[in-house]
């Protein structure tokens, strides 16, 4: 069974929710990523979303855009990313956040095979329209690799039904209209969106975009199956600059605080 399915089965049986932090592979360099991923796992992550740096932002806010720029400054290649991920054993599932452009250039089947070999259990593909997802969905299903697409507050009910049908593993529910980044509070429309999606799928619903504080996590605890936090963590690393020890320490602390809010 795919590790993502195993995780959510275990969490549901224990009546727990998943905490999923996001990290950019290669920010500020690949050596740091090899230290960061296990540190995040040890601090309370249930699974980790690993961002594959990409030069053309899709829905990424300025914090994650900047982290991709820092990583790409080292001219890292897809092979370097897979090698780095394959060298770590975090003990929790890894999910890539990757543009379909990267998959297409490598070849979708070859990308999935390389990702699985590197210990990645699924992929969030933010720029893949559901109308064009059938081929990738089949390739992923044949390889027991999870394909996760996004549902946003502006996704129509008819289109949302198509999106969740194409998904496996879990559904990525975007909490706000717009790009990633910290917000003051969780959107008031999230409960209604999640309730509507519950009528369409039994897959876990994980909420991201704008989730950055323990109070946000507590707000989502009773209605979502998982919470995804990205910009707030990446911002900690940016603030630490060249002080790697300080960066790791600050990320560890924030992961503990945020995952603790689900307890």
pLDDT score of 179: 43
Q: In degrees to the nearest 10, what's the CA dihedral of 148, 160, 1, 115?
A: -20
Whether 49 is catalytic is yes
- 234 with 24: CB under 8 angstroms? yes
| Catalytic-labelled residue, pool 49, 56, 134, 238 | 49
pLDDT score of 50: 97
Distance, in Å, from the CA atom of 47 to the CA atom of 218, rounded to the nearest integer, reads 18
Q: Where are the domains of the chain?
A: 3-260
pLDDT score of 7: 98
Q: What is the mean pLDDT of the chain?
A: 91
Whether 202 is catalytic is no
Task: Dump pLDDT digits (tens) for 169-199.
Answer: 999 999 865 444 444 456 678 999 999 999 9
Distance, in Å, from the CA atom of 74 to the CA atom of 156, rounded to the nearest integer, reads 40
Distance, in Å, from the CA atom of 214 to the CA atom of 254, rounded to the nearest integer, reads 9
Please say whether the structural domain 3-260 has been given the CATH code 3.20.20.210.
no
pLDDT score of 180: 46
| Catalytic-labelled residue, pool 5, 27, 60, 219 | 60
Crossing angle between the packed helical segments 134-142 and 108-117, to the nearest 10 degrees: 40
DSSP of 37-71, one letter per residue? HHHHHHTT-SSEEEE---SS-SS--HHHHHHHHHH
Through-space distance between the first and last CA atoms of the chain, rounded to whole angstroms: 26
- 18 with 7: CB under 8 angstroms? yes
Q: Which residue has the higher pLDDT, 110 or 233?
A: 110
pLDDT score of 244: 85
Task: Dump pLDDT digits (tens) for 243-254.
Answer: 889 989 999 999
pTM reported for the whole predicted model? 0.93
């Amino acid at each position: 069974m795919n590790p993502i399915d195993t995780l959510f089965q275990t969490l549901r049986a224990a009546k727990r929710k998943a905490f999923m932090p996001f990290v950019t592979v290669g920010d500020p360099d690949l050596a740091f990523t090899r230290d960061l991923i296990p540190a995040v796992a040890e601090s309370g992550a249930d699974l980790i979303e690993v961002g594959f740096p990409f030069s053309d932002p899709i829905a990424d806010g300025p914090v994650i855009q900047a982290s991709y720029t820092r990583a790409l400054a080292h001219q890292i290649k897809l092979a370097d990313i897979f090698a780095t991920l394959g060298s770590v054993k975090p003990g929790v599932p890894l999910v890539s956040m990757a543009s379909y452009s990267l998959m297409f250039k490598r070849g979708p089947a070859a990308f999935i095979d390389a990702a699985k070999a590197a210990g990645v259990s699924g992929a969030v593909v933010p720029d893949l329209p559901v109308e064009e997802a059938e081929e990738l969905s089949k390739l992923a299903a044949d390889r027991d690799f999870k394909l996760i697409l996004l549902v946003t507050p502006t996704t129509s009910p008819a289109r949302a039904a198509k999106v969740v049908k194409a998904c496996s593993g879990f559904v990525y529910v975007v909490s706000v209209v717009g790009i990633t980044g910290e917000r003051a509070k969780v959107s008031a429309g999230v409960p209604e969106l999640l309730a509507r999606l519950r009528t369409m799928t039994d897959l876990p619903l994980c909420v991201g975009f704008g989730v950055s504080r323990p109070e946000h996590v507590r707000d989502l605890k009773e209605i979502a199956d998982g919470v995804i936090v990205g910009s707030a963590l990446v911002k900690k690393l940016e603030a630490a600059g060249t002080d790697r020890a300080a960066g790791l320490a600050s990320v560890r602390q924030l992961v503990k605080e945020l995952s603790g809010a689900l307890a």
